[in-house]
Amino acid sequence: KRTVVLISGRGSNMTALIAAAADPTYPAEIVGVISDRANAAGLAIAAARGIPTKVIVRADYASKEAHDGAIDAALVGFGAEIVALAGYMRILGARFVEKWLGRMVNIHPALLPAFKGLDTHARALRAGMRIHGCTVHFVTQDMDDGPIIAQAAVPVMVGDNEDTLAARVLKAEHRLYPLALGLVAEGKARMEKGHTVLAHFAD
Ligand code: GRF
């Protein structure tokens, strides 16, 4: 399935998806990367791997809707069938989300529904969590609220700080996101009536 990754920064999850998709048997192909920031480090990484990139900056558009519209047009231009948000730091509007519903996924650095939003690692430490992790979910109107596709847990170690915990979760993200995107691309994880339907693997 033709997949476009939306980023705002470092792009390490994008890099993990590109690496997974380098295997010809992987069911998703990364056909483009879109960033809302011209200086996102991930842009150079994608370009170095031969993936076409586009920068679509909010300040160049009169409204949020116009910005969303430009991103949508770029997705259509890439022939996108799946949209993968990977550290995309902007909330997409209702119309955009509705159009890509069931075809757009996001990775969040916490075990949802705990710790939606920002600063998840600091908040998990403050809450005294002994496990933490990451979630890939379908994107719906409410932030970090869509049906869960897959999760990975990591231990919180005694002596962890925000950085050590973030690094452990990030490693898990880089394994989880390719797995979850693969499930969606293969049709083994589908969104139906606001829930995720997973294929049975037992038989
Ligand atoms: C990741 O922790 C991701 O879960 C969150 O933002 C971070 C992006 O990192 N949404 P990267 O740009 O993929 O390196």
Q: What are phi and psi of 58, to 5 degrees?
A: -55, -40
d(CA 131, ligand 1 centre) in Å: 19
Residue 156 DSSP label? P
d(CA 173, ligand 1 centre) in Å: 8
Note the pLDDT tens digit of each residue in 121-142.
999 999 999 999 999 999 999 9
Neighbouring residues of 9: CB distance < 8 A, sequence distance ≥ 6: 37, 40, 41, 42, 87, 89
- DSSP character string of 64-83: HHHHHHHHHHHHHHHT-SEE
> What pLDDT score was predicted for residue 201?
63
* Residues linked to residue 137 through DSSP beta bridges, in sequence order: 106, 148
Average pLDDT, the chain: 97
User: Would you mind telling me the total number of residues written for the chain in this entry?
Assistant: 203
Total-model pTM:
0.97
Residue 6 in contact with ligand 1 by CB distance below 6 A: no
Cis peptide upstream of residue 113 (ω within 30 degrees of 0): yes
> What pLDDT score was predicted for residue 200?
78
d(CA 151, ligand 1 centre) in Å: 15
Q: Which residue has the tokens 């293969």?
A: 186
CA angle (34, 52, 25) in 5-degree steps: 100
> What pLDDT score was predicted for residue 10?
98
All domains in the chain, ordered by first residue: 2-198 (3.40.50.170)
Please tell me whether 64 is known to bind a ligand. yes
Q: For residue 46, give the amino acid letter.
A: A
Residue 13 in contact with ligand 1 by CB distance below 6 A: yes
CA-based nearest residue to 180, from 194, 191, 166, 192 = 191
> What pLDDT score was predicted for residue 73?
98
Active centre residues (catalytic): 108
